[in-house]
């Protein structure tokens, strides 16, 4: 049975440039993908190129095209304070929605569309080539993720982090699950986005690397095959950035509610800091095979927080709430030192008590029997500002 996390349980990304640390804290950066929809029907609409021309000038946030014209990516500037990350997420959603409104659309934080509709490939040559090579995998690709960059001091530290965060990535997916619908039907999954993304031959869980040299060799061997177009297509669940001093955690669905997204950013930073500390004191990473991690990711994708997750400590199924509590306990020292413990714990408790975005979508669908109503409700939730947490 899911339960509220007790109150007592309750350093970085630079997507632009600069040092991975500022003072004692790792910097953080976010890439948030949003769906662009018709405000009346809720169906995806191909307005990305037009709306980017309508976006406000002079902001530190960047809007960039994604795979499909029915989505947009918002890239935040680096920061060290979680409140700054929160402001960037809220402001990114606002400026994106304002620009979308100017072309007759809305921006919504859904990881897949609840309403079936045609999709249109973005015009970037890279995407055109990928469409030719990967066929229906690319044609059907319309998913919105939430990628968190956290800075590292070196590639060696970064790879050590990647090796040590692997067992906890399924819990992050479960907490963010926000994609139950696919092509007009209930998929039966909490995060069907993860299943769609798993079609890519270079995606998913990874074996232990052991060193930066081994990481580079694995990427090189993938590129040599010719199947993977470039380093940007190395879609590990978490990876080193190929152009920034960061690790990038890629598993979360985009979160419907901004405050939940903020909590994931804080939790990811704490997870990275905890892993780096383990490496520095010589603690070995858990030797869980990638095949087992793939099963753990499948369970998280299928059930979200409404079923069992694979407990990294035992390797067997446990209540999702128990695994999430273990994740928070694992990262607690880093969360406390950054001042993020209360805020992250409150938001995670809210997810466990009231459900994920997937739970909310299904609840609205049961009540309204209308997928357009699901999208309308998600638009409202996407742009609602949460009350400032206490503590």
Question: Is residue 387 in a domain?
Answer: no
For the entire predicted model, the pTM comes to 0.93
3-state secondary structure of 86: helix
Question: Is residue 391 in a domain?
Answer: no
For residues 173 and 332, give the distance between their C-alpha atoms in angstroms, rounded to a whole number.
19
3-state secondary structure of 249: strand
Question: Is residue 10 in a domain?
Answer: no
Question: Is residue 94 in a domain?
Answer: yes
pLDDT number for residue 59: 80
Cβ atoms < 10 Å from Cβ of 155: 16
| Buried b or exposed e, range 280-306, using 16+ CB within 10 angstroms | eeeeebeebebeebeebbbbbbbbbbb
Alpha-carbon distances, residue 7 vs 127, 257, 263, 328, 343 (angstroms): 46, 21, 15, 11, 11
Domain that holds residue 232: 21-382
pLDDT number for residue 53: 87
pLDDT number for residue 18: 37
Length of the chain: 391
Per-residue model confidence as pLDDT tens digits over 78-119: 999 999 999 999 999 999 999 999 999 999 999 999 999 999
pLDDT number for residue 22: 47
| The two structure tokens encoding residue 390 | 């206490």
For residues 62 and 59, give the distance between their C-alpha atoms in angstroms, rounded to a whole number.
8
Q: Could you tell me how far CA 95 lies from the centroid of its own chain?
A: 20
Question: Is residue 177 in a domain?
Answer: yes
For residues 117 and 42, give the distance between their C-alpha atoms in angstroms, rounded to a whole number.
9
- How many domains, in total, are found in the chain? 1
What CATH number is attached to the domain comprising 145? 3.30.590.20
Question: Is residue 326 in a domain?
Answer: yes
Residues of the chain with pLDDT below 50 are: 1-19, 22, 388-391
3-state secondary structure of 248: strand
3-state secondary structure of 60: coil
Alpha-carbon distances, residue 233 vs 10, 172, 338 (angstroms): 37, 22, 33
């Amino acid at each position: 049975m899911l339960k509220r996390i007790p109150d007592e349980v309750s350093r970085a990304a630079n997507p632009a440039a600069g040092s991975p640390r500022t003072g004692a804290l790792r910097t953080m950066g976010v890439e948030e993908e949003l769906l662009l929809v018709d405000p009346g029907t809720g169906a995806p609409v191909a307005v990305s190129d037009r709306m980017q021309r309508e976006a406000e000038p002079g902001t530190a946030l960047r809007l960039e095209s994604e795979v499909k014209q029915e989505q947009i990516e918002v890239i935040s500037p680096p920061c060290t304070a979680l409140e700054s990350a929160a402001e960037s997420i809220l402001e990114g959603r606002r400026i994106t929605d304002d620009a979308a409104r100017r072309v007759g659309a809305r921006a919504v934080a859904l990881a897949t569309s609840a309403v079936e509709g045609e999709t249109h490939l973005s015009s970037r040559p890279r995407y055109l080539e990928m469409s030719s090579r990967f066929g229906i995998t690319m044609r059907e690709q319309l998913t919105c993720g939430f990628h968190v960059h956290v800075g590292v001091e070196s590639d060696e530290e970064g790879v050590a982090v990647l090796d040590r965060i692997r067992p906890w990535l399924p819990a992050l997916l479960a907490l963010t699950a926000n994609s139950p619908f696919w092509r007009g039907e209930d998929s039966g999954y909490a995060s069907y986005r993860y299943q769609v993304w798993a079609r890519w031959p270079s995606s998913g869980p990874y074996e232990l690397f052991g060193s930066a040299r081994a990481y580079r060799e694995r990427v090189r061997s993938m590129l040599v095959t010719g199947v993977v177009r470039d380093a940007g297509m190395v879609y590990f669940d978490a990876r080193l950035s190929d152009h920034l001093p960061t690790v990038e955690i890629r598993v979360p669905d985009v979160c419907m509610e901004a405050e939940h997204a903020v909590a994931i950013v804080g939790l990811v930073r704490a997870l990275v800091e905890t892993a780096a500390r383990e490496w520095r004191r010589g603690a070995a990473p858990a030797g869980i095979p990638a095949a087992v991690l793939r099963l753990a990711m499948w369970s998280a994708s299928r059930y979200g927080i409404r079923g069992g997750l694979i407990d990294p400590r035992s390797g067997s199924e446990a209540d999702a709430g128990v695994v999430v509590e273990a994740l928070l306990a694992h990262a607690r020292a880093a969360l406390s030192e950054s001042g993020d413990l209360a805020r992250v714990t409150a938001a995670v408790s809210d997810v466990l008590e009231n459900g994920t975005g997937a739970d909310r979508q299904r609840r609205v669908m049961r009540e309204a029997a209308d997928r357009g109503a699901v999208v309308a409700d998600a638009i409202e939730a996407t742009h609602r500002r949460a009350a400032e947490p206490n503590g």
